[in-house]
């Protein structure tokens, strides 16, 4: 889980942050609200098994984003683990999926750091 502080924007809401992400990643990734993870507001989804969960945190002193890579679809993730079994699934997760989650985290971090709406 990564936390990235940005300039204080008390007017920024999770919905407006999600709209900024949608505008930037339009046609590349699917952006949607998250229902299963209470601490994150939306997910940038590359594939049902590859994405990054993003949450906006406001406090009196600043604005920050909390994000981490993960599988956007709980159903697909459950099927992945059940179909492959523990040992093969662990192998695929650490060799294939985890690097893709980390790459999505880096891309989200880079976007947040450089987006004029968050400066």
Per residue in 16-27, pLDDT (tens digit) is: 999 999 999 999
What is the total count of domains within the chain? 1
Q: Residue 53: left (phi > 0), alpha (psi -120 to 50), or beta?
A: beta
The residue to which tokens 């709406």 are assigned = 117
Give residue 55's pLDDT: 94
**CA angle in degrees (0–180, nearest 5) for 111-76-80:** 110
Give residue 26's pLDDT: 93
For 112, the domain range is 2-118
Q: List Cβ neighbours of 97 (8 Å cut-off, separation of 6 or more).
A: 49, 50, 71
CA atoms within 13 A on the CB side of 4: 20
Q: List Cβ neighbours of 44 (8 Å cut-off, separation of 6 or more).
A: 21, 25, 29, 30, 31, 51, 52, 54, 104, 108
Contact 92, 84 (CB under 8 A): yes
The rounded distance, in Å, linking the Cα atoms of 33 and 31 is 7
- Please indicate, yes or no, whether the overall pTM of this predicted structure exceeds 0.95: no
pLDDT-flagged residues of the chain (< 70): 36-38
Instruction: Please count the other Cβ atoms lying within 10 Å of the Cβ belonging to residue 77.
Output: 17
Give residue 39's pLDDT: 75
Give residue 96's pLDDT: 92
């Amino acid at each position: 889980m990564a936390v990235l502080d940005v300039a204080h924007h008390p007017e920024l809401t999770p919905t407006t942050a999600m709209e900024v992400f949608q505008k930037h990643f339009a046609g590349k990734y699917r952006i949607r609200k998250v229902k299963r993870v209470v601490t994150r507001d939306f997910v940038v989804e590359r594939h049902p098994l590859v994405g990054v969960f993003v949450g906006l945190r406001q406090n009196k002193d600043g604005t920050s984003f909390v994000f981490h890579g993960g599988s956007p679809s709980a159903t697909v993730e459950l099927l992945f683990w059940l179909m492959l079994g523990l040992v093969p699934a662990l192998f695929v997760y650490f060799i294939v999926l985890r690097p893709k989650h980390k790459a999505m985290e880096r891309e989200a971090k880079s976007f947040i750091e450089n987006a004029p709406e968050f400066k």
